[in-house]
């Protein structure tokens, strides 16, 4: 579940970090977005995997996107990844790992 407080910053009338003011409000109202996001499901909630898989509600969409991107993305000959670019102790993003020096 995304952090609702920070998600609401997209509709602020003042600049918030890298998000220019009025960016999302000109396209979709905050209340309408919240209503859509509450009801947007691609899979049933009563399935056994719904309790284990954090992306269960949109799993089918994720799989289609992964398949599409795998077919269209060509990995370069050299791909560098710096471990220090994603240090985090946040429990919200399970993909990030705190790497102690």
Measured at the CA of 24, the angle between CA 43 and CA 3, to 5 degrees, comes to: 55
Give residue 2's pLDDT: 53
Cα(26)–Cα(17) distance, integer angstroms: 18
pLDDT in tens, the chain (101 residues): 455 667 777 777 776 666 677 677 788 888 898 888 888 778 888 888 888 888 888 888 889 999 998 898 888 888 777 666 655 666 666 655 555 65
How many angstroms separate the CA atoms of 10 and 13, rounded?
9
Q: Give the pLDDT score at 64.
A: 92
| pLDDT given at position 50 | 85
pLDDT of residue 24: 77
């Amino acid at each position: 579940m995304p952090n609702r407080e920070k998600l609401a910053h997209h509709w602020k009338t003042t600049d918030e970090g890298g998000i220019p003011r009025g960016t999302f409000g000109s396209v979709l109202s905050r209340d309408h977005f919240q209503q859509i996001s509450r009801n947007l499901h691609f899979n049933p909630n009563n399935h056994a995997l719904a309790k284990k898989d954090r992306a269960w509600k949109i799993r089918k969409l994720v799989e289609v996107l992964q398949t599409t991107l795998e077919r269209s993305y060509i990995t370069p000959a050299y791909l560098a990844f710096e471990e220090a670019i994603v240090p985090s102790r946040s429990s919200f993003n399970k993909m990030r790992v705190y790497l102690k020096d």
